[in-house]
Amino acid sequence: MNQSRLYSVRMRASENESHENGGRHISGGELLSSYNELGLSVNTLLEKALNHSRGQPDFLQIQCEVVNQPIKLFNPLTVQTNEVTTVEEGQVLAKFLLEKTGVPKDIIKKAYKEIPEYPVSGAILIDIHTGERVDGRIDKGVRVSRMDWQTGNFNKWARSKADSTNPRLKEALTLATKVTNHKLTIAELCWSDDPDYITGYVASKKLGYQRITQLKQYGDDRGCRIFFVDKLSDINTYMSYLEEQPILIQWEEKHDTRVD
Ligand code: PML
Ligand code: MG
């Protein structure tokens, strides 16, 4: 892709009203696109919004904006898939992995107790020392933006790993790679708000992207996305990294790392 002039293309869709007016979140999407591919990119996100398991949107917005900052390239996190047979088993594993990344046990416990209170479409930030929510975006959480993984390079990666070209994996791995490449991110915990998708993950720079095949029951439309962070002395810089720093995932085999 010609990186000289890239556009950030963002979609959001909701039911009843727009998100800011209390509407129920249906779908969101992020792309980086060249000018020539803008039509295609807008269409890709339009299709995503119009055919979603959370329902039909009443409000739909697609925004294109030129990106002026230099783009960072990241190798994707290493992926491991952990097969579990029940949600309980999956959640025990998720907590174990979070602890392994360095999030203290009592903070994990506190975060899990508060998950039902976070019905937001974006991510929430939790300080690993206090367990307090620190993003300040009470109603919507933080939306990680300006990121993409070009299809050709993603397909090459998927072929080499004998993995599926699941677009959800592509989107989630792109996001997790961006988030965990910031040194103040200790870990991410995520499962989808889509009722037909139950695989989630724990990710960190050290552990890579640890998929867990069941983190909720089918039919459940409650999702979770938490970034555990280490004492953000400058929250604005961290937020602007998540929301504004453009990144592309660019897989190169020689940069693959092993996960123990
Ligand atoms: C989402 O759909 O919003 C998140 C999906 C997380 C898991 C993706 C995967 O690894 O299959
Ligand atoms: Mg969703």
What confidence score (pLDDT) does residue 163 get?
Answer: 75
| Ligand 1 atom with least separation from CA of 223 | 3
- CA 200 – CA 204 distance, rounded (Å): 14
- CA 240 – CA 238 distance, rounded (Å): 5
What confidence score (pLDDT) does residue 55 get?
Answer: 96
| Ligand 1 atom with least separation from CA of 209 | 10
**Which of 97, 201, 227 should be mutated for ligand 1, with most atoms under 8 A from CB?**
201
Q: Among all ligands shown, which has an atom nearest to the Cα of 194?
A: 2
pLDDT digits (tens, 9 = 90+) for 198-256: 999 999 999 999 999 999 999 999 999 999 999 878 899 999 999 999 999 999 988 78
Q: How far is the CA of 251 from the centre of ligand 2 (A)?
A: 25
**Ligand 1 environment, Cβ below 6 A:** 166, 168-169, 172, 190, 192, 194, 197, 199-201, 211
What confidence score (pLDDT) does residue 56 get?
Answer: 97
What confidence score (pLDDT) does residue 233 get?
Answer: 84
pLDDT digits (tens, 9 = 90+) for 26-83: 999 999 999 999 999 999 999 999 999 999 999 999 999 999 999 999 999 999 999 9
pLDDT digits (tens, 9 = 90+) for 82-134: 999 999 999 999 999 999 999 999 999 999 999 988 778 899 999 999 999 99
Whether the Cβ atoms of residue 93 and residue 103 lie closer than 8 Å to each other = no
- Rounded to 10 degrees, the C-alpha dihedral 242/225/141/232 comes to -50
Q: 60: helix, coil or strand?
A: strand
Distance of CA 88 to the CA centre of its chain: 23
Q: Is the dihedral of CA 199, 184, 8, 4 positive or negative?
A: negative
Q: How far is the CA of 4 from the centre of ligand 1 (A)?
A: 30
What confidence score (pLDDT) does residue 3 get?
Answer: 55
Instruction: Mark out the alpha helices in 105-150 (DSSP H runs).
Output: 105-114
Q: 218: helix, coil or strand?
A: coil
Distance of CA 112 to the CA centre of its chain: 18
Q: How far is the CA of 143 from the centre of ligand 2 (A)?
A: 12
What confidence score (pLDDT) does residue 192 get?
Answer: 96
